[in-house]
């Protein structure tokens, strides 16, 4: 693909980008290619499970409710870039609850609008072209 | 009975197509006149809002938890002054019901006052009440006005209007379908007596708030009549139609800036009223195509035998809290801005329950929808040119302490301690921390009253109100901190206390882009103490949040924060009240160490969080961050993540075999899809 036909890289989250020329997820911190943008990005990230009391410690000892979430009710899932370890997503879920497919961009529709000139990417964000 | 179906309610939210007459009137409104007149509508509404706050008696009304609105002759919302955007959604349902059902009997005439608070007919929950007046000019119906606010007493089975123990609508006190409560610009005396009877626990609050709503609706009506006399009724008709068209155009234009796609968020809570259990309080799937959104709640847990259920229009009202504040903030508060939105509600779910359901705590079950919509919209919006308006969810705790009894002025009362609910932390923004003690997520413009005013009004003592350290979710930008207060009975022998709350075992809001949620909120009591003696010896130490939970002033006891009505004796018990912090944004390791230092010095972040969450190496003597050591610590933490993390497929294989304990699954529905397991029976 020649440079002049390149679409660009779009910011999807604080540390996640979408390369619309290669249809890949890219780490916003280390710029590594994470995986195919036709897949749920979480499938390409490392998943770390945390006991919620590691993040929200109990402040009152010996009492049933202590400001810390109950680890039997909820766990924290952390999703890391497999290259640099930046934390791209987190989700609080009861143990065993299906992991949410949070962001499912319609790639074809997005590319169509960009190719039609309805939108351009400026500084990593979409800008609607006003006529 | 002929209460509207869900389909009829949703249809009423759509604006009525323009008539040829309206289009002709619209053509006569010049661009310049239009700009001036739109501002005039805002001025009229702001005047009404100010009158409303000054006329109201209960804490929520005084705090500005209200809305004042004007509508087209068809009942479509044209503009409003708020207050709480929650109320913007529902009046069109009620006005269109009145137009459809009451034209002949009891009739719609100049000077009529209509009223309702029944969620089955289109309300939010029965403490939220609305007075509606038609606007006539030269004998023609040209518009409607409304004033809505929350009164904290309804004559329910517990004081405060939001009974935690109610299991059906029959235990929730006054539920009035749309009805005419006055004519010739006067409220009927028998209606005032009806309100007094239902409001016997707090008669002044209930009857004065009733009159405040009617006064406000009539003031806006008066101003619209003046506008008709000055500019002509056709001008007002054309103006309103153009405002609807412009608002819809603006909303669609904004949606066009987001990439098409499907955005999902799932949230949970740990109780429905007094029943403890895991509940999937919202499964939101937002599909964005071109200039249209479909918001689907399929997958949300079933309805339950508590007051933590919400009828669909109430759920949409809660979405409006976020949408009007963050997305359509520069557009009129108008039915037309919601024209591009369609909704899907699963039947017999806690967000679309059967008619006999108790819904007085609709606002509590809707915390999931409020949180999820913030999360989904932020995901859709971040790639757009408005990315800098992306935010993590508010804490949406809504922890509301209610006290009831006889005041030091010998007045019966039942009311909320409004400071607590009006000082939650804001969700983290993608360029800044959330604001500390931002306000009430249900009411962007609500005001936290001064403690001295509260102590003068109610028989209580509040020796301190402070920020709650570490209460905002951690992240590159942290959620705003909530607050904490000490409260005890003063001046009178005893009061009744209850706490409308949940989330002592888990938190509802999901964080955004790698941040963390806020901590959970326990119900905290220190009993068998002597408050006056304790205050007298404060020279010995510091009375603050840490001292209290450390046990410096008596043995700390905790329980779920949602608590039913109970007596509290003067001077013997300290209750610690908490308002939730906002959710966090971004990887905490990306947080500027200088911001951590600032929070440490301000007492908003603990040394533990600085070390363990932010991996900041802090010298407490020099009060400086060791930047190189911090960088090393953070890099080591990233390496630990890489060692700890598993590939998704490998992780999910083990994860999907697990399930929460059976004893907490009583509210959830089937696992994991949360479908009803059995119908809910209410006698």
The distance of A85 to chain B (nearest Cα, Å) reads 5
Please answer yes or no on whether A46 and B587 come within 8 Å at the CB atom.
no
pLDDT for res B92: 97
Please answer yes or no on whether B655 and A99 come within 8 Å at the CB atom.
yes
Residue B670 near chain A (CB below 8 Å): no
The distance of A22 to chain B (nearest Cα, Å) reads 18
From B511, B524, B656, residue closest to A96, measured CB to CB: B656
CA gap B269, B309 in Å, rounded: 13
Contact A44, A34 (CB under 8 A): yes
CA gap B557, B57 in Å, rounded: 34
The distance of B136 to chain A (nearest Cα, Å) reads 42
pLDDT for res B427: 98
Which is higher by pLDDT, B176 or B448? B176
From A15, A96, A128, residue closest to B658, measured CB to CB: A96
From B266, B278, B645, residue closest to A47, measured CB to CB: B645
Q: Which of B260-269, B417-426, B471-480, B647-656 has the lowest mean pLDDT?
A: B417-426
A:B CB pairs within 8 Å: 226
Please answer yes or no on whether B645 and A78 come within 8 Å at the CB atom.
yes
DSSP secondary structure code for residue B106 in this structure: I
* Chain A environment of B484 (Cβ under 8 Å): none
Q: What would the pLDDT profile of B63-121 be if each residue is shown by its tens digit?
A: 888 999 999 999 999 999 998 999 998 999 999 999 999 999 999 999 999 999 999 99
Contact B363, B123 (CB under 8 A): no
* Chain A environment of B262 (Cβ under 8 Å): 101, 104, 106
From A11, A63, A104, residue closest to B383, measured CB to CB: A11
pLDDT for res B48: 98
Q: List, in order, residues 6 or more apart from B306 with CB less than 8 Å away.
A: B164, B166, B167, B272, B273, B274, B275, B358, B361
CA gap A99, B139 in Å, rounded: 60
Domain positions in chain B are: 6-12+21-251, 392-586
From B257, B262, B559, residue closest to A128, measured CB to CB: B257
CA gap B185, B219 in Å, rounded: 11
The distance of A2 to chain B (nearest Cα, Å) reads 24
DSSP secondary structure code for residue B585 in this structure: B
Q: Which helix (H) or strand (E) holds B66?
A: strand B66-72
- Best B554, B641, B643 member to test A by mutation, with max A CBs in 10 Å, is B641
CA gap B392, B478 in Å, rounded: 9
How is B233-277 classified by DSSP, letter by letter? HHHHHHHHHHHHHHHHHHHHHHHTTSPPEEEEEEEEEEEETTEEE
Q: List, in order, residues 6 or more apart from B541 with CB less than 8 Å away.
A: B547, B552
pLDDT cut 70: percent of chain A above it: 96
Strands (E), B107-260: 113-116, 128-137, 140-150, 179-183, 186-187
Q: What would the pLDDT profile of B189-227 be if each residue is shown by its tens digit?
A: 999 999 999 999 999 999 999 999 999 999 999 999 999
Q: What would the pLDDT profile of A7-33 be if each residue is shown by its tens digit?
A: 999 999 999 999 999 999 999 999 999
* Chain A environment of B648 (Cβ under 8 Å): 42-47
Is residue B330 over pLDDT 90?
yes
* Chain A environment of B257 (Cβ under 8 Å): 126, 128
From B256, B513, B642, residue closest to A13, measured CB to CB: B513
Widest pairwise Cα distance in chain B? 79
* Chain B environment of A70 (Cβ under 8 Å): 270, 505-506, 520
pLDDT for res B540: 64
* Chain A environment of B507 (Cβ under 8 Å): 69, 92
Q: What is the mean pLDDT of chain B?
A: 95
* Chain B environment of A126 (Cβ under 8 Å): 257-259, 383-385
Contact B610, B618 (CB under 8 A): yes
From B514, B520, B637, residue closest to A69, measured CB to CB: B520
Please answer yes or no on whether B382 and A76 come within 8 Å at the CB atom.
no
CA gap B293, B262 in Å, rounded: 10
Residue B118 near chain A (CB below 8 Å): no
Contact B284, B265 (CB under 8 A): yes
From A69, A84, A91, residue closest to B506, measured CB to CB: A69
* Chain A environment of B607 (Cβ under 8 Å): none
Report H helices in B330-396: 362-365, 367-381
CA gap B549, A66 in Å, rounded: 10
Nearest residue on chain A to B290, alpha-carbon basis: A109
From B383, B517, B658, residue closest to A92, measured CB to CB: B517
CA gap B501, B622 in Å, rounded: 41
The gap from C-alpha B460 to its chain's centroid, in whole angstroms, comes to: 26
pLDDT for res B211: 98
CA gap B213, B216 in Å, rounded: 5
Q: φ, ψ for residue B485 (rounded to 5)? A: -140, 155
pLDDT for res B222: 98
CA gap B562, B332 in Å, rounded: 37
Interface of B with A in 171-210 (CB under 8 A): none
Contact B399, B580 (CB under 8 A): yes
pLDDT for res B352: 98
B144: burial class by Cβ within 10 Å (0-12, 13-18, 19+)?
A: buried
The distance of A62 to chain B (nearest Cα, Å) reads 9
The model's confidence at residue A1, banded by pLDDT at 50, 70 and 90, is very low
pLDDT cut 90: percent of chain B above it: 88
The model's confidence at residue A46, banded by pLDDT at 50, 70 and 90, is very high
The distance of A31 to chain B (nearest Cα, Å) reads 16
The distance of B187 to chain A (nearest Cα, Å) reads 49
Residue B257 near chain A (CB below 8 Å): yes
Contact B43, B224 (CB under 8 A): no
Instruction: For tokens 């994991």, name the residue.
Output: B672
- Best A17, A25, A85, A111 member to test B by mutation, with max B CBs in 10 Å, is A85
The 3-state DSSP class for residue A118 equals coil
CA gap B661, A27 in Å, rounded: 37
- Best B281, B285, B644 member to test A by mutation, with max A CBs in 10 Å, is B644
Mean pLDDT along residues B413-422:
88
Residue B261 near chain A (CB below 8 Å): yes
Is residue B508 over pLDDT 80?
yes
Residue B149 near chain A (CB below 8 Å): no
Q: List, in order, residues 6 or more apart from B144 with CB less than 8 Å away.
A: B70, B71, B72, B73, B75, B91, B95, B132, B133, B134, B135
Please answer yes or no on whether A63 and B522 come within 8 Å at the CB atom.
yes
Nearest residue on chain A to B430, alpha-carbon basis: A14
The distance of A4 to chain B (nearest Cα, Å) reads 22
Please answer yes or no on whether B641 and A104 come within 8 Å at the CB atom.
no
CA gap B120, B313 in Å, rounded: 9
Please answer yes or no on whether B515 and A90 come within 8 Å at the CB atom.
yes
The model's confidence at residue B584, banded by pLDDT at 50, 70 and 90, is very high
Interface of B with A in 622-651 (CB under 8 A): 637-639, 641-642, 644-649, 651
Q: What would the pLDDT profile of B375-416 be if each residue is shown by its tens digit?
A: 999 999 999 999 999 999 999 999 999 999 999 999 999 998
Report H helices in B344-435: 362-365, 367-381, 418-421
Q: What would the pLDDT profile of A71-110 be if each residue is shown by its tens digit?
A: 999 999 999 999 999 999 999 999 999 999 999 999 999 9
Interface of B with A in 594-613 (CB under 8 A): 608, 612-613
pLDDT for res A4: 59
pTM above 0.80, yes or no: yes
Quickly count: other Cβ atoms within 10 Å of residue A74's Cβ. Answer: 23
- Best B250, B255, B516 member to test A by mutation, with max A CBs in 10 Å, is B516
The distance of A24 to chain B (nearest Cα, Å) reads 15
**Reported ipTM exceeds the 0.85 cut:** yes
pLDDT for res A3: 52
Directed axis angle between helix B31-55 and helix B233-255, to 10°? 90
Separation of first and last alpha carbons in chain B: 18
Please answer yes or no on whether A95 and B656 come within 8 Å at the CB atom.
no
Nearest residue on chain A to B561, alpha-carbon basis: A65
* Chain A environment of B521 (Cβ under 8 Å): 67
* Chain A environment of B636 (Cβ under 8 Å): none
């Amino acid at each position: 693909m020649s440079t002049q036909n390149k679409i660009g890289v779009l910011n999807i989250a604080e540390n996640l980008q979408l390369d619309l020329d290669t249809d890949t997820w890219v780490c916003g911190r280390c710029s590594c290619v994470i995986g195919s943008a036709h897949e749920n990005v979480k499938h390409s990230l490392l998943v770390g499970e945390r006991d919620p009391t590691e993040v929200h410690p109990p402040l009152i000892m010996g009492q049933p409710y202590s400001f810390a979430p109950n680890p039997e009710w909820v766990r924290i899932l952390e999703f890391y870039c497999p290259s640099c370890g930046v934390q791209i997503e987190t989700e609080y879920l009861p143990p065993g609850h299906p992991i949410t497919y949070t962001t499912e961009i319609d790639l074809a529709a997005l590319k169509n609008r960009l190719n039609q000139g309805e939108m351009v990417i400026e500084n990593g964000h979409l800008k609607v072209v006003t006529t | 009975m002929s209460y509207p179906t869900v389909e009829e309610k949703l249809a009423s939210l759509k604006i009525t197509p323009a008539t040829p007459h309206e289009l002709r009137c619209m053509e006569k409104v010049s661009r310049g006149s239009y700009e001036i007149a739109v501002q005039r509508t805002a001025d009229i509404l702001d005047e009404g809002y100010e009158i409303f706050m000054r006329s109201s008696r209960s804490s929520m009304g005084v705090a500005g938890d209200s809305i004042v609105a004007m509508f087209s002759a068809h009942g479509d919302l044209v503009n409003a002054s708020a207050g709480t955007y929650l109320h913007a959604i529902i009046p069109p349902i009620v006005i269109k019901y009145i137009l459809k059902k009451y034209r002949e009997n009891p009739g719609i005439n100049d000077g009529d006052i209509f009223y309702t608070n029944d969620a089955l007919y289109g309300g939010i929950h029965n403490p939220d009440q609305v007075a509606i007046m038609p606007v006539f000019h030269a004998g023609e119906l040209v518009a409607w006005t409304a004033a809505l606010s929350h009164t904290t007493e309804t004559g329910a089975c517990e004081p405060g209007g939001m009974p935690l123990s109610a299991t059906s609508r029959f235990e929730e006190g006054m539920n009035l379908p749309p009805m005419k409560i006055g004519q010739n610009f006067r409220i009927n005396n028998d209606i005032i007596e009806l309100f007094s009877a239902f409001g016997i626990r707090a008669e002044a609050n209930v009857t004065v708030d009733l009159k405040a709503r009617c006064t406000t609706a009539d003031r806006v009506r008066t101003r619209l009549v003046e506008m008709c006399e000055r500019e002509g009724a056709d001008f007002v008709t054309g103006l309103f139609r153009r405002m609807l068209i412009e608002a819809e155009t603006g909303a669609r234009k904004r949606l066009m800036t987001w990439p098409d796609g499907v955005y999902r968020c799932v949230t949970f809570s740990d109780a429905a009223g007094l029943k403890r259990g895991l509940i999937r309080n919202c499964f939101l799937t937002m599909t964005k195509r071109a200039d249209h959104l479909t918001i689907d709640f399929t997958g949300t847990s079933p309805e339950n035998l508590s007051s933590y259920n919400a009828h669909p229009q109430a759920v949409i009202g809660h979405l409006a809290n976020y949408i009007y504040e963050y997305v359509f903030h520069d557009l009129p508060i108008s039915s037309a801005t919601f024209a591009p939105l369609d909704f899907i509600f699963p039947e017999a779910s806690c967000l679309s329950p059967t008619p006999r359901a108790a819904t007085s705590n609709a606002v509590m079950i809707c915390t999931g929808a409020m949180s999820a919509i913030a999360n989904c919209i932020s995901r859709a919006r971040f790639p757009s040119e408005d990315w800098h308006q992306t935010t993590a969810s508010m804490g949406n705790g809504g922890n509301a302490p209610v006290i009831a009894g006889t005041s030091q002025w010998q007045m019966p009362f039942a009311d909320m301690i409004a400071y607590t609910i009006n000082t939650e932390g804001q969700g983290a923004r993608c360029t800044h921390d959330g604001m500390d003690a931002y306000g009430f997520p249900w009411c962007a413009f609500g005001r936290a009253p001064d403690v001295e005013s509260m102590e003068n009004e109610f028989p209580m003592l509040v020796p301190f109100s402070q920020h709650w350290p570490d209460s905002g979710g951690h992240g590159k930008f942290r959620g705003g901190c909530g607050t904490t207060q000490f409260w005890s009975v003063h001046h009178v022998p005893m009061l009744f206390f209850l706490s409308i709350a949940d989330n002592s075992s888990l938190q509802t809001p999901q964080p955004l882009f790698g941040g963390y949620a806020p901590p959970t909120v326990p119900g905290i009591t220190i009993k068998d103490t002597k408050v006056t003696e304790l205050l007298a010896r404060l020279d010995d130490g510091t009375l603050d949040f840490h001292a209290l939970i450390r046990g410096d002033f008596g043995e700390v006891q905790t329980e779920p924060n949602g608590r039913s009505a109970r007596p509290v004796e003067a001077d013997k018990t300290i209750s610690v009240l908490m308002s939730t912090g906002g959710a966090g944004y971004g990887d905490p390791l990306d947080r500027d160490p200088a911001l951590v230092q600032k929070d440490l010095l301000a007492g908003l972040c603990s040394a533990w969080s600085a070390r363990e969450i932010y991996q900041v190496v802090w010298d407490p003597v020099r009060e400086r961050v060791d930047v190189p050591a911090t960088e090393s610590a953070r890099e080591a933490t990233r390496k630990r993540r890489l060692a700890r993390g598993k590939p998704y497929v490998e992780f999910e294989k083990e994860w999907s075999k697990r399930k929460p304990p059976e004893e907490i699954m009583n509210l959830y529905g089937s696992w994991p899809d949360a479908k009803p397991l059995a119908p809910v029976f209410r006698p």
